[in-house]
């Protein structure tokens, strides 16, 4: 069964600290992997997208990595800010069928002052 699992479920860090969120998937065949940020009460917003040939992609203080061999991805947040408090969702797109996105359950990040 195609699945996307994220860890940890929730995380609390102090402002200015770094953190890394994990995403493991079993989706196959694989097309791309995307990280979304979802603020409370808002819809998800795309941060990065990676195909299987890409290892790293950055978007400001957000850096995503992908290991297509082990089917693992991580999202690293550098020098966290209060505005980083949100849920981060990993989404994997398969290649079979006209539409096949599998959403993870997300990691809820809380950044404290």
Partner 1 sequence: DADVTQTPRNRITKTGKRIMLECSQTKGHDRMYWYRQDPGLGLRLIYYSFDVKDINKGEISDGYSVSRQAQAKFSLSLESAIPNQTALYFCATSEALTGGGETQYFGPGTRLLVL
Q: Which stretches of the chain bind partner 1, using CB under 8 A?
A: 4, 31-32, 34, 41-46, 49, 51, 89, 93, 95, 98-99, 101-106
The distance of closest approach from Cβ of residue 93 to partner 1 in the complex, given in angstroms and rounded to an integer, is: 5
The distance of closest approach from Cβ of residue 34 to partner 1 in the complex, given in angstroms and rounded to an integer, is: 8
Nearer to partner 1, 20 or 95 (CB): 95
**Distance of alpha carbon 30 from alpha carbon 11, whole angstroms:** 28
Could you tell me which residues are beta bridge partners of residue 75?
21, 64
**Which residues, 6 or more positions from 26, have their beta carbon under 8 angstroms from its beta carbon?**
1, 2, 3, 4, 71
Residue matched to tokens 């980083």 = 84
The distance of closest approach from Cβ of residue 92 to partner 1 in the complex, given in angstroms and rounded to an integer, is: 10
């Amino acid at each position: 069964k195609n699945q996307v699992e994220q860890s940890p479920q929730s995380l609390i860090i102090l402002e200015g600290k770094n953190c890394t969120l994990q995403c493991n998937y079993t989706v196959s065949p694989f097309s791309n992997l995307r990280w979304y940020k979802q603020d409370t009460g808002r819809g998800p917003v795309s941060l990065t997208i990676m195909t299987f040939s890409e290892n790293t992609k950055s978007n400001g203080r957000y850096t995503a990595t992908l290991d297509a061999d082990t089917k693992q991805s991580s999202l690293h947040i550098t020098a966290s800010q209060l505005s980083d408090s949100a849920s981060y969702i990993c989404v994997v797109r398969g290649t079979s069928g006209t539409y096949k996105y599998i959403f993870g359950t997300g990691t809820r990040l809380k950044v404290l002052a």
